[in-house]
């Protein structure tokens, strides 16, 4: 008979370090209380430390972005800002460990009230496969420059999953977001984005789709309706992608480009987008389109500078729910 042997050491994981970072952040907020919105920060920190968030890292990622934005707008004490930075770093380590397979974790796919995007199939029909891998004038993956770029990324990728991850990193990090970098040229088709090395969130989603479709990976387009200034109207559409991965079904990925307060990653099945949906009039639109919305293409082909585009970003009329 074999008896259980008492462990004489404890191996910490990235999750335990993340928990410690949250506890430290909470302590800093309490120690510096009161300051503007300190009560809101405590509420959302407790939300992030809840069992629901631990089982749904997408939700935790959204809360981290929200906490960061509140702290920045409120000019929170330096100790609190530093604590948020530590949480973001530990959260990133958890996602890296899950992706590398060094941390076994099986999060919930979606929150209970946001399951409309999940489907039971693990394969697309032949018709759907064709629809989400088609070449077009905007997603022009047959263009020589797109094919060449795809082959370069493929050559340094070990398998389909790594290719998807490398394409995401390339579009996110190497293609500059035109508003962030104040680049005035407006690009639309995937080949234009690649040629100029820049684009809006919409344009970058076109390039991501083209590079993945070049290797017969089904990709669609989805949108969020967000407050332009994180403070009510005006609202606009934000463009991102949905990639069909047989193991996980549709997985949203946002390659708009990271900056202070934005930390999007490609870590299936855990979704980490650039922006959470926080306000009552904001929406995660559930549709996955095989081609970019016509209103998006029209805007990109109408306005000649990034400033003009930014002042006329497309929006959609929301029906009462």
Shared domain check, 163 and 198: yes
Q: Say which residues have a Cβ less than 8 Å from residue 204's Cβ, sequence separation at least 6.
A: 171, 172, 175, 177, 193, 239, 255, 256, 257
In this structure, is the dihedral angle defined by the CA atoms of residues 212, 227, 287 and 185, taken in order, positive or negative? negative
Q: Are 83 and 258 in contact (CB under 8 A)?
A: no
pLDDT value at position 177?
Answer: 97
Q: Say which residues have a Cβ less than 8 Å from residue 6's Cβ, sequence separation at least 6.
A: none
Shared domain check, 93 and 147: no
Shared domain check, 164 and 93: no
pLDDT at 94 over 50: yes
- Show which of 82, 100, 118 is a domain's final residue: 100
Q: Are 208 and 252 in contact (CB under 8 A)?
A: no
Q: How confident is the model at residue 113 (pLDDT cuts 50, 70, 90)?
A: very low
pTM above 0.85, yes or no: no
In a domain, 276, yes or no: yes
pLDDT at 252 over 90: yes
In a domain, 113, yes or no: no
pLDDT at 254 over 50: yes
pLDDT at 2 over 50: no
Torsions phi, psi for 23 (to 5 deg) = -60, -40
Provide the CATH number for the domain around residue 131.
3.10.620
Token couple for 131:
């629809």
Report how far residue 190's alpha carbon sits from residue 293's, in angstroms, rounded to the nearest whole number: 15
Number of domains in the chain: 2
pLDDT at 101 over 80: no
Token couple for 226:
């967000």
Q: How confident is the model at residue 280 (pLDDT cuts 50, 70, 90)?
A: confident
């Amino acid at each position: 008979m074999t008896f259980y042997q008492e462990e004489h050491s404890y191996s910490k994981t990235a999750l335990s370090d993340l928990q410690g970072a949250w506890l430290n952040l909470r302590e800093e907020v309490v120690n510096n209380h009161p300051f503007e919105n300190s009560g809101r920060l405590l509420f959302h920190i407790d939300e992030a430390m809840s069992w629901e968030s631990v089982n749904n890292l997408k939700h935790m990622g959204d809360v981290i972005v929200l906490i960061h934005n509140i702290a920045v707008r409120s000019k929170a004490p330096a100790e609190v800002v530093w604590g948020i930075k530590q949480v973001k770093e530990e959260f990133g380590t958890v996602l890296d460990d899950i992706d590398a397979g060094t941390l076994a974790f099986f999060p919930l796919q979606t929150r209970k009230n946001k399951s409309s995007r999940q489907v039971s199939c693990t394969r697309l029909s032949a018709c759907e496969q064709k629809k989400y891998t088609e070449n077009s004038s905007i997603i022009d993956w047959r263009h020589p420059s797109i094919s060449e770029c795809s082959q370069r990324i493929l050559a340094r990728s070990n398998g389909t999953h790594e290719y998807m991850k490398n394409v995401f990193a390339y579009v996110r990090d190497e293609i500059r977001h035109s508003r962030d970098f104040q680049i005035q040229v407006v690009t639309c088709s995937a080949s234009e984005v690649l040629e100029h090395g820049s684009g809006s969130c919409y344009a970058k989603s076109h390039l991501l789709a083209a590079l993945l479709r070049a290797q017969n990976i089904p990709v669609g387009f989805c949108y969020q309706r967000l407050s332009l200034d994180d403070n009510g109207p005006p609202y606009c559409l934000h463009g991102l992608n949905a990639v069909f991965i047989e193991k996980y079904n549709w997985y949203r990925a946002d390659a708009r480009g990271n900056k202070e307060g934005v930390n999007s990653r490609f870590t299936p099945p855990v979704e980490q987008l650039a922006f959470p949906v926080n306000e009552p009039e904001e929406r995660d639109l559930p549709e996955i389109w095989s081609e970019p919305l016509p209103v998006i293409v029209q805007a990109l082909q109408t306005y000649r500078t990034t400033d003009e585009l930014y002042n006329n970003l497309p929006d959609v009329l929301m029906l009462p729910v």
